[in-house]
């Protein structure tokens, strides 16, 4: 938002996570409402012509137009920034509005971007299909291969983009190491933190410059609205990102902002309970003769477990399992009674996804194989149901194989 009145707010109180998730950023109106209000207003009224002028020159730090900022949206931005430990946040209409703005606001024709190749499909579209149309080249590397990152940065880069854990293989990228390499090359590092959530991973503390979220996932966590956020330094958000979003129109609407703001109150409780369920599922299913693979970042047998321990404060809510082939995967999915077949994640309801035929269907079979998206791979998002019921549901369904 423009002229954020919170820029002049005193430093944050040092509250712990759950306290700031229930109180940080609140702006009470003259009515003293207990719960945060929804300001469903596009524009703002000024008491005089002079006041309108002062608002536009920036002398008076207040709201102008909801595409630039809105009190409910600002409450959400401030609360999320406090959780992330970021100086500033700009909330967006969706996760993809956040990703596209974080990248496009930084690059210009002739620039290079380096990215890990295991990315959410729409992020791949931006980097692979869209950027070249505007003269920006993307170099894709295996996110776990630091020599490949080093080589890719040799030619210089404007920015780097990673997702960790990556969808759907849950491969990890070492945020500390890649941010150091990016900075040596004069590039910024953007981390898509949707899978880990702001509860289990703090990329800015690990050296990243910009964090992006799909708030649609864990932050809403109840399958209701789309939303997103970009977080970084005040300088980056106000000078680089804000002009881009303000004028291209990716702002979050106040009603969705209110739902997401209220969701933050329970985020820590929800995500920790979901991660406990994911860990229990992984534990119960590991070693099952029906599975050819089980990947959970919280387990010591994860291929990048050392990186997980160094940068994640928990194993997360997601796990991936592999059965023999697509027919077996479909039989398991159709036999599940609690896990719902969908492509969302981080939800209160546990979800099963078959990436090869849904989220990654657009890719060629060769590309899917390269990314580890095999025909038997299932992505599981643990929800808020009783974890024992989830284990029973999955074990019963596996008998269908
Ligand atoms: C869902 C998702 C996005 C896109 O978010 P939307 O809110 O659907 O626009 C981006 N990155 C990752 C990792 C995601 O899971």
In a domain, 126, yes or no: yes
In 10 A of CB 265, how many CB atoms?
A: 16
Whether ligand 1 lies within 6 angstroms of the CB of 240 is answered as no
Q: Tell the residue number behind the tokens 């012509």, with chain if given.
A: 49
Q: What is the pLDDT of residue 10?
A: 42
Q: Are residues 216 and 138 in the same domain?
A: yes
In a domain, 334, yes or no: yes
Q: What is the pLDDT of residue 14?
A: 82
- The model's pLDDT over 2-26, given as tens digits with 9 standing for 90+, comes to 334 443 344 466 899 999 999 999 9
Distance 102 CA to ligand 1 centre (A): 13
Q: What is the pLDDT of residue 377?
A: 97
Q: Are residues 277 and 259 in the same domain?
A: no
Q: Are residues 339 and 237 in the same domain?
A: no
Q: What is the pLDDT of residue 362?
A: 87
Q: Are residues 98 and 150 in the same domain?
A: yes
Whether ligand 1 lies within 6 angstroms of the CB of 393 is answered as no
Contacts of 137 (CB under 8 A, 6+ apart): 111, 112, 113, 131
CB 138 within 8 A of CB 114: yes
Q: What is the pLDDT of residue 12?
A: 62
Of ligand 1's atoms, which has the minimum distance to the CA of residue 167?
13
Whether ligand 1 lies within 6 angstroms of the CB of 159 is answered as no
Residue of minimum CA distance from atom 15 in ligand 1: 194
Query: Is pLDDT above 90 for 202?
Result: yes
Residues belonging to the chain: 401
In a domain, 8, yes or no: no
Of ligand 1's atoms, which has the minimum distance to the CA of residue 216?
7
In a domain, 109, yes or no: yes
Q: Are residues 357 and 231 in the same domain?
A: no
Q: Are residues 118 and 250 in the same domain?
A: yes
In a domain, 119, yes or no: yes
Q: Which of 263, 282, 310 is the last residue of a domain?
A: 263
Whether ligand 1 lies within 6 angstroms of the CB of 120 is answered as yes
Q: Are residues 346 and 203 in the same domain?
A: no
Residue 125 domain boundaries = 17-263
CATH number at residue 84: 3.40.640.10
In a domain, 312, yes or no: yes
Residue 32 to residue 227: CA distance in whole angstroms = 27
CB 144 within 8 A of CB 97: no
In a domain, 187, yes or no: yes
Among 94, 96, 143, 347, the mutation site with the greatest number of ligand 1 atoms within 8 A of its Cβ is 96
Q: Are residues 280 and 318 in the same domain?
A: yes
Q: What is the pLDDT of residue 139?
A: 98
Q: What is the 3-state secondary structure (H, E, C) of the chain?
A: CCCCHHHHCCCCCCCCHHHHHHHCCCCCCCCCCCCCCCCCCCECCCCCHHHHHHHHHCCCCCCCECCCCCHHHHHHHHHHHHHHCCCEEEEECCHHHHHHHHHHCCCCCCCEEEEECCCCHHHHHHHHHHHHHCCCEEEEECCCCHHHHHHHHCCCCCEEEEECCCCCCCCCCCHHHHHHHHHHCCCEEEEECCCCHHHHCCHHHHCCCEEEEECCCCCCCCCCCCCEEEEECHHHHHHHHHHHHHHHCCECCHHHHHHHHHHHHHHHHHHHHHHHHHHHHHHHHCCCCCCCEEECCCCCCCCCHHHHHHHCCCCCCEEEEECCCHHHHHHHHHHCCCCEECCCCCCCCCEEECHHHCCCCCCCHHHHHHHCCCCCEEEEECCCCCHHHHHHHHHHHHCCC
Q: Are residues 347 and 236 in the same domain?
A: no
CATH number at residue 290: 3.90.1150.10
Residue of minimum CA distance from atom 7 in ligand 1: 95
Query: Number of folded domains in the chain?
Result: 2
Distance 123 CA to ligand 1 centre (A): 8
Distance 214 CA to ligand 1 centre (A): 5
Q: What is the pLDDT of residue 400?
A: 87
In a domain, 7, yes or no: no
Does 121 or 274 have the greater pLDDT score? Answer: 274
Q: Are residues 140 and 195 in the same domain?
A: yes
Q: Which of 263, 295, 321 is the last residue of a domain?
A: 263
Q: What is the pLDDT of residue 7?
A: 39
Distance 333 CA to ligand 1 centre (A): 23
Q: Are residues 245 and 300 in the same domain?
A: no
Q: Which of 237, 263, 289 is the last residue of a domain?
A: 263
Q: Are residues 250 and 110 in the same domain?
A: yes
């Amino acid at each position: 938002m423009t002229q954020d009145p919170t820029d002049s707010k005193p430093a944050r109180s040092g509250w712990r996570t759950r306290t700031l998730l229930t109180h940080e950023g609140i702006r009470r109106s003259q009515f003293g409402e207990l719960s945060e209000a929804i300001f469903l207003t596009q524009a703002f009224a000024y008491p005089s012509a002079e006041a309108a002028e002062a608002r536009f020159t920036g002398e008076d730090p207040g709201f102008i137009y909801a595409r630039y900022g809105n009190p409910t949206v600002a409450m959400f931005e401030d609360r999320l920034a406090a959780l992330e430990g970021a100086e500033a946040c700009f909330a967006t209409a969706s996760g993809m509005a956040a990703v596209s703005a974080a990248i496009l606001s930084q690059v210009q024709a002739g620039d290079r971007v380096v990215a890990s190749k295991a990315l959410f499909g729409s992020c791949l579209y931006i980097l692979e299909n869209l950027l070249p149309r505007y003269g920006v080249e993307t170099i894709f590397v295996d996110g776990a291969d630091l020599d490949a990152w080093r080589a890719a940065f040799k030619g210089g880069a404007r920015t780097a983009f990673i997702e960790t854990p990556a969808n759907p293989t849950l491969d990890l990228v070492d945020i500390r190491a890649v941010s150091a390499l990016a900075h040596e090359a004069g590039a910024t590092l953007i981390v898509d933190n949707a899978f880990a959530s702001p509860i289990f991973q703090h990329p800015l503390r690990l050296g990243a410059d910009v964090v992006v979220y799909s708030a649609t996932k864990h932050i809403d966590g109840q399958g209701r609205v789309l939303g997103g956020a970009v977080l970084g330094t005040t300088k980056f958000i106000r000078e680089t990102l804000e002009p881009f979003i303000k004028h291209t129109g990716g702002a979050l609407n106040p009603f969705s902002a209110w739902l997401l703001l209220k969701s933050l109150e329970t985020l820590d409780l929800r995500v920790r309970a979901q991660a406990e369920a994911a860990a229990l599922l992984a534990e119960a299913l590991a070693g099952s003769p029906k599975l050819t693979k089980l990947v959970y970042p919280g387990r010591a047998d994860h291929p990048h477990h050392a990186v997980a321990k160094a940068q994640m404060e928990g194993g997360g809510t997601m796990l991936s399992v592999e059965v023999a082939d697509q027919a077996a995967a479909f039989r398991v999915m159709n036999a599940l009674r609690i896990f719902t077949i969908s492509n969302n994640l981080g939800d209160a309801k546990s979800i099963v996804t078959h990436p090869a035929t849904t989220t990654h269907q657009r890719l060629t079979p060769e590309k899917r194989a390269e990314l580890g998206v095999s025909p038997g791979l299932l992505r599981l998002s643990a929800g808020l149901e009783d974890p024992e019921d989830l284990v029973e549901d999955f074990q019963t369904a596996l008998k269908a194989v």
